């Protein structure tokens, strides 16, 4: 006996009962991106490993332990993309889109990270990413946050989300701060866990982001980056906070908010919820002016964010109305051999006359009773019934499946006119 092959751990199928919610989500994303003038860019799922090493940085969780890396047949080291920022910038540099230009871009699709699978944390998951190039001021930072807020409200989850902000300053400011932080943490070395001791050498800011409760008091008392921000970083951050306040967007400044990726500076932000347990961050972003140069381009301003689709869809909860809206309007029952061809023609004509109609035509034969059962199980609102008599008379039976009522018989020629208002097409 051969065993059934199963999907890879942490990589999930999205079954047809769930795709309507994904499609609903995607429709809203398309609309909101267009409303702000963001254009879609489509990128490969596989990139050279070096791209991620150079952009994300060697000493991050992602590059240290989460990448799906493999040798191509010719020996090149390739990686399934763990995030989209690096690939997006690579594409724009490669195609000359970065010369003194302004771009508002977005992309979506699967990302891959070899993490311990748990609720809200998968090995293949999906993100929508947004990147804005060539705009150095806080106005674009604010625009990205406005865009997020509009998405949340269109998705019906705005009240569940809180905005957290921080400023990471410039690289130089961070280097000075880093020395203060490391000196402080060395004094409290005994209280650090193994991960943090390692990070003390490699990526000490990341310690501030530790989720280990045993570290919370050490972190609480640590020197704060905001006391080391220069004039320009401070002005930028104040500009953003002012724009948010004027737009009525509530936020909290979280001094422990640092991004796992090395290339961020100045503004960083996260949208968090307390309704998803430990995996409460649904969207994270920030400014990464330094990365363009790091990837070989000329210095350019850049800011972006990525949101986790699975976590957001979780937060949206049961979307009964969305699922209902995806169900068929009608199921065509055709009884007997002489109803087959006329039934197919009738179905085709209806679809031409009513382009919004969702109609399933029974295939595979079956008795009236078994076809009626299929009609009911399909979720359709109406059964259309075509048998020997109807074919002979040019008529059609119509029976409501979700409410009481007698079956009616109409002429086939008036069916479209009858269905249009009834199904609100
Ligand atoms: P976390 O701290 O949860 O590991 P992260 O800092 O690694 O998050 P980012 O790289 O900023 O996450 O990715 C942006 C968003 O993508 C996250 O806020 C989250 O919603 C989603 N995300 C990241 N990793 C996963 C994953 N393994 N499974 C599902 N969603 C994820
Ligand atoms: Mg992570």
Query: Residue 123: which CATH number?
Result: 3.30.930.10
User: Do 134 and 27 fall into the same domain?
Assistant: yes
- pLDDT for 37: 98
- Cβ–Cβ < 8 Å for 268, 285: yes
Q: Which domain holds residue 360?
A: 328-424
CA 123 / ligand 2 centre spacing (Å): 11
Give the residue among 370, 361, 373 at the shortest CA–CA distance from 334: 361
Average pLDDT of the residues in 232-261: 92
CA 76, 203, 94, 66 torsion: positive or negative? positive
User: Do 235 and 355 fall into the same domain?
Assistant: no
Tell which atom from ligand 1 comes closest to the C-alpha of 82: 10
Assess if residue 5 is contained within a domain: no
User: Do 408 and 350 fall into the same domain?
Assistant: yes
Residue bearing tokens 């023609």: 345
Assess if residue 3 is contained within a domain: no
User: Do 365 and 413 fall into the same domain?
Assistant: yes
Assess if residue 277 is contained within a domain: yes
User: Do 300 and 341 fall into the same domain?
Assistant: no
- pLDDT for 362: 98
CA 50 / ligand 1 centre spacing (Å): 21
Tell which atom from ligand 1 comes closest to the C-alpha of 121: 28
CA 9 / ligand 1 centre spacing (Å): 17
- Give nearest CA residue, ligand 1 atom 12: 284
Is the model's pTM score more than 0.85? yes
CA 214 / ligand 2 centre spacing (Å): 20
Domain boundary among 290, 316, 342: 316
Question: Residues 301-357: pLDDT tens digits?
Answer: 999 999 999 999 999 998 889 988 999 999 999 999 999 999 999 999 999 999 999
Assess if residue 336 is contained within a domain: yes
Question: What phi and psi, each to the nearest 5 degrees, are found at residue 285?
Answer: -160, -175
User: Do 56 and 142 fall into the same domain?
Assistant: yes
Residue bearing tokens 């952009």: 55
Q: Is the CB of 310 under 6 A from ligand 1?
A: yes
User: Do 147 and 55 fall into the same domain?
Assistant: yes
Tokens of 140: 């674009």
CA gap 297, 96 in Å, rounded:
10
Domain boundary among 286, 316, 346: 316
Q: What is the DSSP letter of 10?
A: T
Assess if residue 247 is contained within a domain: yes
Instruction: Please tell me the total count of domains within the chain.
Output: 2
Q: Is the CB of 288 under 6 A from ligand 1?
A: no
User: Do 384 and 303 fall into the same domain?
Assistant: no
pLDDT(59) > 90: no
Q: Is the CB of 108 under 6 A from ligand 1?
A: no
CA gap 91, 154 in Å, rounded:
31
- Cβ–Cβ < 8 Å for 396, 409: yes
CA 160 / ligand 2 centre spacing (Å): 22
User: Do 396 and 249 fall into the same domain?
Assistant: no
- Give nearest CA residue, ligand 1 atom 28: 121
User: Do 69 and 154 fall into the same domain?
Assistant: yes
Domain boundary among 293, 316, 339: 316
Assess if residue 211 is contained within a domain: no
> SS3 of 203, please?
coil
- pLDDT for 260: 60
Assess if residue 37 is contained within a domain: yes
Q: Is the CB of 312 under 6 A from ligand 1?
A: no
Tell which atom from ligand 1 comes closest to the C-alpha of 270: 18
CA gap 58, 55 in Å, rounded:
9
Give the DSSP per-residue string, 243-257: HHHHTT---EE-TT-
Assess if residue 174 is contained within a domain: no
User: Do 257 and 357 fall into the same domain?
Assistant: no
What is the SS3 assignment for 72-102? CCCCCEEEECCCCHHHHHHHHHHCCCCCCCC
Q: Residue 409 belongs to a domain with what CATH number?
A: 3.40.50.800
pLDDT(259) > 80: no
Q: Is the CB of 281 under 6 A from ligand 1?
A: yes
């Amino acid at each position: 006996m051969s065993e059934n092959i199963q999907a890879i751990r942490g990589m999930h199928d999205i079954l047809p009962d769930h795709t309507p919610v994904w499609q609903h989500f995607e429709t809203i994303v398309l609309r909101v991106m267009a409303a702000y003038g963001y254009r879609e860019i489509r990128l490969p799922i596989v990139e050279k490993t070096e791209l991620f090493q150079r952009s994300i940085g060697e000493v991050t969780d992602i590059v240290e332990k989460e990448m799906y890396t493999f040798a191509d047949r010719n020996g090149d080291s390739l990686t399934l993309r763990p995030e989209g920022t690096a690939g997006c910038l690579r594409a724009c540099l490669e195609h000359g889109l970065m010369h003194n230009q302004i771009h508002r871009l977005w992309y979506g699709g699967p990302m891959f990270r070899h993490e311990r699978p748990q609720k809200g944390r998968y090995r293949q998951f999906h993100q929508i990413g947004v990147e804005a190039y060539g705009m150095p001021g806080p106005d674009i930072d604010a625009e990205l946050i406005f865009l997020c807020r509009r998405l949340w409200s269109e998705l019906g989850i705005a009240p569940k989300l809180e905005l957290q902000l921080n400023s990471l300053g410039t690289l130089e400011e961070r280097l000075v701060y880093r020395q203060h932080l490391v000196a402080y943490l060395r004094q409290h070395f005994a209280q650090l866990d193994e991960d943090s001791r390692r990070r003390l050498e490699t990526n000490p800011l990341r310690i501030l982001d530790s989720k280990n409760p045993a570290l919370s008091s050490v972190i609480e008392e640590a020197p704060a980056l905001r006391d080391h921000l220069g004039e320009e970083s401070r002005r930028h951050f104040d500009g953003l906070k002012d724009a948010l306040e004027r737009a009525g967007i509530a936020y909290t400044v979280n001094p422990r908010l640092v991004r796992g990726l090395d290339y961020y500076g100045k503004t960083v932000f996260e949208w968090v919820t307390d309704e998803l347990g430990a995996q409460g961050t649904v969207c994270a972003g920030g400014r990464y002016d330094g990365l363009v140069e790091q990837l070989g381009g000329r210095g350019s301003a850049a800011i972006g964010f990525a949101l986790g689709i699975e976590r957001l869809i979780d937060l949206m909860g049961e979307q009964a109305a969305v699922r209902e809206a995806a169900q068929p309007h009608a199921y065509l029952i055709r009884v007997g051999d002489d109803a087959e061809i006329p039934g197919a023609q009738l179905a085709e004509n209806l679809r031409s006359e009513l382009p919004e109609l969702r109609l399933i035509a029974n295939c595979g034969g079956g008795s009236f009773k078994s076809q009626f059962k299929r009609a009911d199980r399909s979720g359709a609102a109406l059964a259309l019934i075509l048998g020997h008599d109807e074919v002979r008379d040019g008529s059609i039976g119509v029976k409501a499946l979700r409410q009481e009522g007698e079956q009616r018989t109409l002429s086939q020629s008036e069916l479209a006119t009858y269905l249009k208002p009834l199904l609100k097409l």
